[in-house]
Amino acid sequence: MTHMHVAGSIHADVTAPAPVWLTRPEDVNALTPKLWSRTVHRDEDGVIQVGGVRLTDLAEQVGTPAYILDEDDFRARAQDWRSAFAGWTVYYAGKSFLCGALARWVDEEGLNLDVCSLGELTVALRAGFAPSRIGMHGNNKSETELRLALQQGVGRIIVDSSDEITRLEALCDELATTANVMIRVTTGVEAHTHEYIATAHEDQKFGFSINGGQALVGMFRCHHSPRLNLLGVHSHIGSQIFDTNGFEVAARRTLKLFSQFREATGIELAELDLGGGFGIAYTKEDDPASADELARGLRDIVEHECRAFGLAVPAVSIEPGRAIVGPAGLALYRVGTVKPVDVGGGVTRRYLSVDGGMSDNIRPALYAAEYSAALASRTSTAEAVVSRVVGVHCEGGDILVRDEFLPADVRIGDLLAVPASGAYSRSMASNYNHTPRPPVVSVRDGKVRTMLRRETLDDLLSLDAGLAENEE
């Protein structure tokens, strides 16, 4: 979420003022429960523990930076969503974070799985995930992707364009098979979130627009195709959404399509997917609804709109990613440099440079996303001062946490933990500045397991044909 920054009154100690939304904590050592995974707490000596493992021990064992996933928390959240939406189908959105072990957790917790690339589909299949419980997304799926999905019997393909319908029909002919499809539509809903993650307003690349009439045309094409089995309609309105207003409009507009389709064909479609995008708390100010509250709201909305159109309630599915894996993860960094920077007017901002940065979390740079941080290796009795946590990369915008109250005595060697880092951190990580990507480890009952090992410099250099060791 983007917050306004104002000059505010300048504190007597001339450290930079907090933005208006950030309140001074009563106790800078306290951990706000909604930001952290369920097993997180401080040991008696002040070290943060997760899954029964002390973060100081973890840093020794796996190094920093590292992503840590709380397995119990992930499984509990998956269960929460599954039971809150009982009767509906929950697809975990693999793009938020996916690897072999995590695909197995999703499977064991009884959720279905969404993928949107050849890589994600391959991970899911190699992890043994049942193809029939996989949904395949993408606005420009290649022949290779579609062929693999068809050969493996992926449960549903969410069709995004008329070119894709053509491509899919040709492949079905070639493979002498049929495909279960949903039509992705853009409902014109603009989710109240950052512009680049609002995907249902009209001027963007995804789906068939309802306004222009393309949605119905696409539905008829699929319906009349001997190779395609049209299951229903899919809508995804954005990400990091906190209320159900946008879903209400999306449900009304998609179910109106159901009604129009019935008028033309006499057939009521069987399935509606309302997408994902359910928000989580990145800062104390974020107040996301629980899975139960959302389920109640969404069920009411769907039932109400179906009644209005005289439709039977279809089979409904949703696709949360962030809401399940986001809060389960934290990122762990070590402080390497502490720099008070004179920002003018006698005001100083504390810059804490850590050993990661925009290569392991691009969201602050990409979406102006706000995060929180806590001193993880100890507690402190020092005053809480507004600090900025930055990375090692050659960009001024290489910021991990723009504003956070941290103890004034944070020093070289301290560990900082950034909560709510399970989604879209490792999955969006890059090798900018030839930086190897950090590992993902899971913790549970005092045990640490590698989910994705740390990339090494040799991993990266092995791609470089111009280096002597790689010359043919």
Ligand X SMILES: *Cc1c(COP(=O)(O)O)cnc(C)c1O
Q: Which residues of the shown chain bind ligand X in the complex (CB under 6 A)?
A: 93, 95-96, 114, 137, 236, 239, 275-278, 319-323, 423
Distance from C-alpha of 193 to C-alpha of 40, rounded to nearest angstrom: 29
* C-alpha triplet 312, 316, 322: angle, nearest 5°: 160
Distance from C-alpha of 364 to C-alpha of 282, rounded to nearest angstrom: 11
Nearest to 294 by CA among 272, 270, 277, 315: 277
- C-beta of 49 vs 199, nearer to ligand X: 199
Closest distance to ligand X from the beta carbon of 138 (Å): 9
- C-beta of 323 vs 375, nearer to ligand X: 323
- C-beta of 191 vs 389, nearer to ligand X: 191
Closest distance to ligand X from the beta carbon of 16 (Å): 31
Distance from C-alpha of 301 to C-alpha of 248, rounded to nearest angstrom: 6
Query: Residues for the chain: how many in total?
Result: 472
CB atoms within 10 A of CB 85: 21
**Could you say which DSSP state residue 241 is in?**
B
Whether residue 222 lies in the annotated active site: no
Distance from C-alpha of 264 to C-alpha of 65, rounded to nearest angstrom: 57
Closest distance to ligand X from the beta carbon of 96 (Å): 4
Cα–Cα distance list, 420 to 70, 167, 286 (Å): 11, 39, 12
Cα–Cα distance list, 348 to 138, 240, 340, 385, 426 (Å): 46, 32, 6, 11, 32
Closest distance to ligand X from the beta carbon of 19 (Å): 24
Helix axes 71-84, 291-309, angle to 10 degrees: 30
Closest distance to ligand X from the beta carbon of 17 (Å): 32
Catalytic one among 116, 222, 306, 394? 394
- C-beta of 2 vs 23, nearer to ligand X: 2
Catalytic residue positions? 394
